[in-house]
Each structure stands twice: as structure tokens, then as C-alpha cells.
Amino acid sequence: MNTLEASIRSTKTKGELNTLRSQGNVPAVVYGGEDKNQNISVSKKTLINLLERDNFLSNIIKLKIDGKDQNVLPRDVKFDILSDEPTHVDFLRIVKGGKVILQIPVKFINSDKSPGLKRGGVLNIVRRKVELKCPTENIPNELIVDLDGVDIGQSFKISAIKLPENVHPTIQGRDFVVATLAAPTVIKEPEKPAEAAEGAEATGEEGATQATEGAEGDGKAPPADAAKSEKKDDAKKGDDKKSQPEKK
């Protein structure tokens, strides 16, 4: 449980609040239960460190208000538009027997032990957070989904996630899906063996050579049959000249 030092403040005007902020503090209020609302201030630096951690709004914090401990739950944080620094925080008192509605994050573990992910499957996360109704004394930090042994085609529903006692999802009446393990969207073709690839290259080179030779033949020399036909014509012409009588 995180601890945050706090001091009671008596600021009433905007000028006093701005002075408080300029001194490195953030105004806050604690409410809930039978006690009256309590105006406090906390260190801006410490608050920013807590905000940078996951699940700030769903983790119980121990406030030390002038030496007295009070368990609270952050409910709302306001930020400056320009600097994005916190300017105000609301804290809810944790009262035994009370219930709160929170967005609890989902955490996936043992992804390296999932055969589906090893084969290229894709984890589709439908809900990164699940809204739960929790007793104030039994608020889970996160919901665990174990991927050990999970294969392609399997899905994770809320009924498969173990919830703490008296903790229930706000969505009732249906077993909604939290995540699925789907098949890969791109299927890689198997690589061709080296011998087959070389054979394909050789066939391609031979075909290219034949095509080149054919193209050159059309442009430079007549076909072989045409050449023989021309020789026969020349020989016949010669025989015709011999058979004619000489003129006196």
C-alpha cells in the first residue's frame, strides 16, 4: 500500500490556493463515511510519482494526515491544461462494509508458455479493464489471465477469471469475453528447397537462351529449309541453260 503525507489546509480563496500550489503542494479533499469532508494538501512531487505508477485510481492509499493514518481511494484528479500537472485530488474514505465501483486492469501472464502464441497466434484484448463492484476492504489490484498452455482459437471470459470474495462485474446476465487468441493474419509460404530453386533458375536461363537465339535467327539469316529451296532453284536454272541449243 502506498503512503502519502498530507496536511490540513484552511485555504478559502483562489489566491490562497494558487499560493499553495506555487509552494509545491496540491489541494485535495477527503470525503465519505460519517465524518465531514476534510480539506488537505499533499506534496506535488510525491503525488506525481504515484500518478506515474499503474492503477493509481484503483489502489488504496494510506494518507498520513498530521500524524493520523486514514485509508483512502483516489477518485478524481484534475490537471492543468498547459503544464499537465495535478491541481486537485479527491479521496474517498475507506469505510468497512462500503462498496465502490472501479475499473480494474487485466494482466496477462506466461505468454512465453502459450503454444498458440509460439505458432504466430495473435492475442486480441477485448477489455483491458473490467468494471467491478467491490467491498472497500477487498479491492483487487488487477485481474490475472494465465496464458500457460493456451492455443489458437481459445477465448477468455469473465467466468474464467478468479475474482475475490464478494467482488462482481457490473455487467450482469452474460459471460462477456475479455480476450481471444486468434490465428495469425498473415500465413508465410514454406521456403523452396535449394535444389528445386536451382533447377528453376536453370530452366529459366535455358528458356531465355532459346528465345534469344530464335529472335536473332529471324533478323540475320533465313531458315534452313528456305536456304535449301534457293539452292535447288539455282541448280534448275543451270540445267535449263545447258539444255538450250547454242545459237549460231
Residues contacting residue 65 through CB under 8 Å, at least 6 positions apart: 6, 7, 8, 30, 38, 40
Q: How many domains does the chain have?
A: 2
Which residue, of 136, 164, 182, is where some domain finishes?
A: 182
Contact of 132 with 94, CB cutoff 8 Å: no
Q: State residue 57's pLDDT score.
A: 83
**Domain region containing 111:** 100-182
Euclidean distance between CA atoms 153 and 72, whole angstroms: 42
pLDDT by residue, tens only, the chain of 248 residues: 788 889 999 888 899 999 999 999 999 999 988 888 999 999 999 999 998 877 788 888 889 987 788 889 998 999 999 999 999 999 998 888 888 888 999 999 999 999 999 999 999 999 999 999 998 888 888 899 999 999 999 999 999 998 988 899 999 989 999 999 998 876 555 566 655 555 555 555 555 445 444 444 444 445 555 444 555 555 455 555 444 444 44
Which residue, of 182, 204, 224, is where some domain finishes?
A: 182
Q: State residue 242's pLDDT score.
A: 47
Euclidean distance between CA atoms 218 and 190, whole angstroms: 42
> Residue 81: phi, psi to the nearest 5?
-65, -40
Domain shared by 115 and 138, yes or no:
yes
Domain shared by 85 and 113, yes or no:
no
